[in-house]
Amino acid sequence: MSQAVSLLENVRIVLVHTTHPGNIGGVARAMKNMGLSRLYLVKPKHFPDEQAVWRAASALDVLDNAVVVETLDEAIADCSLVVGTSARGRRIPWPLLNPRDCAEQILPALANNEVACVFGREDRGLTNEELQRCNLHVHIPTNEDYSSLNLAMAVQVIAYELRMACLANEISHDEMEGWDAALATADDLERYFVHLEQTLIDMGFLKPKAPKQLMSRLRRLYSRKRMDELEVSMLRGILTATQAWVSKAGKGK
């Protein structure tokens, strides 16, 4: 295996609440054809299942090694870059890429980081909340009158573009190579957002009864930059200090 293609080992495909086990098998096959092997299943309706085995053909190893988890957060906790896929536009516009540009953006991260590509339910796709867990959104530019691809075919297109990007970049270079801190994981970011939300409530800036889209927009803002662990812990330090001030001011009243 060439070194460039071996980078694909750091990509995980995450399927959220898949209904038809045949699609899980189809995804496993699409992955193996493109050299991907790490499949995460968030609460699949039926798995293991004979139909998954039939559709996987010679990719049974991908199925056998699939990791089944209860929540999307568990599936992406240790990932530094999370890509969500969507068959249609959503209420809050997010940085939106086509699969080719997306693969180019993912490639530099692959040398030192875990990257997740997240796919939604057959009937409803990903919820807005799930999409807001993602740094980037990808849409395969399909026919506007019929935009939704079969799940395994959507995985095939993304995996193909990832493979092509690796092959085109035999010598990959990471723009963050030599960085002095590890990138923050999805788990670090979730804890940061919980802390941020609570601080904004304490300050009276975020009204829990009328939150508007404040947290969604802040999530979008932060997702445009890849923060490292030190930056997240610095921001959390600022939040803790702010909370202490707010509490002191409250006591003085």
Q: Least CB distance from residue 176 to ligand SAH, whole Å?
A: 27
Hey, which residues does 39 pair with through a beta bridge? 13
Q: Are 1 and 29 in contact (CB under 8 A)?
A: no
Return the CA Rg of the chain: 20
Q: Which stretch binds ligand SAH (CB under 6 A): 55-63, 66-74, 75-83, 136-144?
A: 136-144
151 in contact with ligand SAH (CB under 6 A): yes
Nearest CA-CA partner of 154 in 118, 198, 180: 118
Q: What's 139's DSSP letter?
A: -
Q: CA-to-CA distance for 184 and 38, rounded, in angstroms?
A: 21
Q: How many residues does the chain have?
A: 253
List, in sequence order, every beta strand (DSSP E) within the chain: 11-16, 38-42, 67-69, 81-85, 96-97, 115-119, 136-138
Q: Least CB distance from residue 122 to ligand SAH, whole Å?
A: 5
Please select the residue that binds ligand SAH; options are 69, 87, 176, 201, rule is CB under 6 A.
87
Total H helices, total E strands in the chain = 11, 7
Q: Least CB distance from residue 137 to ligand SAH, whole Å?
A: 9
Q: Least CB distance from residue 245 to ligand SAH, whole Å?
A: 43
Q: Least CB distance from residue 14 to ligand SAH, whole Å?
A: 10
149 in contact with ligand SAH (CB under 6 A): yes
Please select the residue that binds ligand SAH; options are 8, 107, 109, 154, rule is CB under 6 A.
154
Please select the residue that binds ligand SAH; options are 140, 189, 200, 206, rule is CB under 6 A.
140
Q: CA-to-CA distance for 119 and 30, rounded, in angstroms?
A: 14
Nearest CA-CA partner of 87 in 145, 32, 18: 145
Q: Least CB distance from residue 250 to ligand SAH, whole Å?
A: 45
Q: Which stretch binds ligand SAH (CB under 6 A): 38-46, 85-93, 127-135, 170-178?
A: 85-93
Q: Which is nearer to ligand SAH, 18 or 199 (CB)?
A: 18
Q: CA-to-CA distance for 225 and 229, rounded, in angstroms?
A: 13
Q: Which stretch binds ligand SAH (CB under 6 A): 108-116, 123-131, 188-196, 202-210?
A: 123-131
Q: Which residues bind ligand SAH (CB under 6 A)?
A: 85-88, 119-120, 122-126, 138-140, 142, 147-149, 151, 154
